[in-house]
Structure 1
Amino acid sequence: MKDISIPLKMINLLADGEFYSGKKISRTLGISFAAINTYIQIIRNWGIHVFTVPGKGYCLHAQLQLLNETAIRARLPSGRLTVLSVVDSTNQYLIERMLTLKPGDACVAEYQKHGRGRRGRQWISPFGNNLYFSLYWRLEQGLSSACVLSLMVGIVIAEMLRHLGAEGVRIKWPNDLYLNNCKMAGILMDIIGNTGRNANVVIGVGINLTMSASEAKLIDQDWINLQEAGIAIDRNVLVAELIDNLRRALLQFERDGFSPFVARWQALDVFCDQPVKLLIGEREIRGIARGIDVRGALLLEQDGECHAYLGGEISLRGLSL
């Protein structure tokens, strides 16, 4: 990776949302006037809006609340955490270091150059606007228990967001979080292991906090961020609380399995008792969503009978009444 120290220093300088003259930036960062626009363009490419006003200088569209490693660690009772500025993806960062990781190790980043979503889709990851983090775990039960893990993670995240003020957050099977019927967060599981053996799992989470529409032109579904819903949550508090609660929940999951989480899912299910359709390859199956079972399978009522759907490439969509 090229040296990004100057762009990062520029972001830290501009993060307060105030105007800075070219002279001030040049003197503070030790760069020439000619170089300023080069570095401004770099941070614009990272998704940061910078305005240039003749006679006043440069400023951001809005203040940035940057990740503060000290503040995050102060809220984490234990466990290792890496705070990154720029990374290809937080999941890939942990995967490449898996041989040195301990269960519960996590990383969080300001910006992902190649953030990933489900089915290889791009996860839009502008600098400092949202929350992107990953956590490593080793499942002693093996791959058989990994299929319900994204559901458990969704429960923990939804409950924590509701606790912090986002009371309308709900969960969509199998790995999305919704607010006001729009997607606001997603979960990506990378699972490495063999049947019947221990499984290494990297859990990736992306949460839309303040992302603007201009930064998300490539998103092909209805989405929302917490700021649009009038919800302000401290990023440093949020990532610390989520990592701590996920570590605790994973220990409970190892001890008790998924059974204790089923009722918690039902209370948060965005489509519970509503008409839905499942897209499985070329097939479309319609019915009434009736929650999940202890295996994490989606329960769909059709003609008075419940059928369980689990695994494979299944997409769940709501239907209008």
Structure 2
Amino acid sequence: MKEHGTRLALVAQLADGQFHSGEALGQAIGISRAAISKHIKVLQSWGLDIFRVQGKGYSLVSKLDLLNCDKIQAQVKCPSLDLIPVIDSTNQYMLDRVGQLPRGAVCLAEYQEAGRGRRGRQWLSPFGSNLYLSMYWRLDAGMAAAMGLSLVVGVAIAEALQSLGADEVKVKWPNDLYYRDQKLAGILIEMTGQAGEAAHLVIGMGLNVAMREQEGTAIGQAWANLEQACSALPERNLLAATLIQRMQETLEHYEQVGLDGFVERWNRIDNYLDRPVKLLIGERVVEGVARGINSQGALLLETEQGITPYIGGEISLRGC
């Protein structure tokens, strides 16, 4: 953590996007110029685009919009907000503290060393380019009441982004957000609890904000940034506060109305509604036309045999 402290201090110095000499950086942080060079290499491995010009020093390609707890808490009431710039996984951090957290507690990070997505996939998490957020929620109705919750959270996030000017953001069954048929964000909900008791949920979200093209080369599908979807990209602290507030409000509403109260809202912003798709369930492929979701959160797929609900699997546009 001490090394991270030095590196984060270096990031703070470079965040203005101006040139800083190795000597000036070393004096500001209290380390040698040689040590600055070594730390710069680590920051570059985190996904920060830092370059050096002889006689001028080091600079980021562009100014960095860093997260700040005070700025976020000035815009939203949050019972517990942890900002851990460098973390293995925000979801894992929350899971390790289930039972100690108040409902609505949030963890944010600038960089995840072991971010994860659905089905155990890695979630690419370059420093400061995106938004990595996890929220803890206690669901007193139990684990069965969590069915379809990723759909509810997807609606909450999409509507929040639309309120910030990203009018074309859509949801993709069961846990993604899309912009013009490209992945913008993913949702991962992890749950613990016993049958007949309250469910402890950790709701994780990774949102592409301003990730550079070279940072996303390892992503195995078409992806988009929020800056493409917005006429004016919102400041990241405002973005975080807006998402936290909308998630809190939506989860409270969900406890009152259940998934029934979200079917129409989902179908209104469903990226694949009334489009020909293929559904992958293990090795099986089902082709049909997507007709939204039902009150159990199942995908409704119309084939020659009629409309059939499906709970599991992944969908993509037919032919993709």
TM-score, length-scaled by structure 2: 0.97
Deviation, 1:229, is 4.2
SS in 2 for 1:227: helix
Q: Which amino acid aligns with 1:263?
A: E
SS in 2 for 1:102: coil
Equivalent position of 1:125 in the other structure: 125
Contact 1:275 1:320 in 2 (8 A): no
Equivalent position of 1:116 in the other structure: 116
| Whole-angstrom CA distance in 2 between matches of 1:143 and 1:303 | 35
User: Where does structure 2 lack aligned partners over 5 or more consecutive residues?
Assistant: none
| Whole-angstrom CA distance in 1 between matches of 2:152 and 2:230 | 27
Equivalent position of 1:52 in the other structure: 52
Which shifted more, 227-236 or 93-102? 227-236
Q: Which amino acid aligns with 1:243?
A: I
Output aligned runs, 1:279-290, within 5 Å.
279-290=280-291
| Whole-angstrom CA distance in 2 between matches of 1:230 and 1:77 | 25
Residues 170-212 of structure 1, C-alpha deviation per residue, up to 9 Å, x if partnerless? 0000000000110010000111123333211100000000001
| Whole-angstrom CA distance in 1 between matches of 2:230 and 2:19 | 26
| Whole-angstrom CA distance in 1 between matches of 2:261 and 2:175 | 18
Q: Which amino acid aligns with 2:186?
A: G
Contact 1:192 1:200 in 2 (8 A): yes
Aligned residues: 319
Equivalent position of 1:263 in the other structure: 264
Q: Which amino acid aligns with 2:316?
A: R
SS in 2 for 1:286: strand
| Whole-angstrom CA distance in 1 between matches of 2:296 and 2:68 | 38
Contact 1:139 1:198 in 2 (8 A): yes
Equivalent position of 2:69 in the other structure: 69
Contact 2:84 2:107 in 1 (8 A): yes
SS in 2 for 1:27: helix
SS in 2 for 1:82: strand
Aligned CA-pair RMSD: 1.4
Are 1:17 and 2:21 matched, yes or no? no
Output aligned runs, 1:185-224, within 5 Å.
185-224=185-224
Residues 211-247 of structure 1, C-alpha deviation per residue, up to 9 Å, x if partnerless? 0121122110111112244541211001111111111
Are 1:165 and 2:165 matched, yes or no? yes
Contact 2:280 2:286 in 1 (8 A): yes
Q: Which amino acid aligns with 1:170?
A: K
Equivalent position of 2:155 in the other structure: 155
Contact 1:144 1:196 in 2 (8 A): no
Residues 233-286 of structure 1, C-alpha deviation per residue, up to 9 Å, x if partnerless? 211001111111111111111111111111100100000001111111111001
Q: Percent identity?
A: 47
Equivalent position of 1:316 in the other structure: 315
Contact 1:266 1:272 in 2 (8 A): yes
User: Where does structure 1 lack aligned partners over 5 or more consecutive residues?
Assistant: none
| Whole-angstrom CA distance in 2 between matches of 1:189 and 1:230 | 26
Which shifted more, 226-235 or 164-173? 226-235
Please identify runs of 4+ aligned residues in structure 1 that moved more than 6 A: none
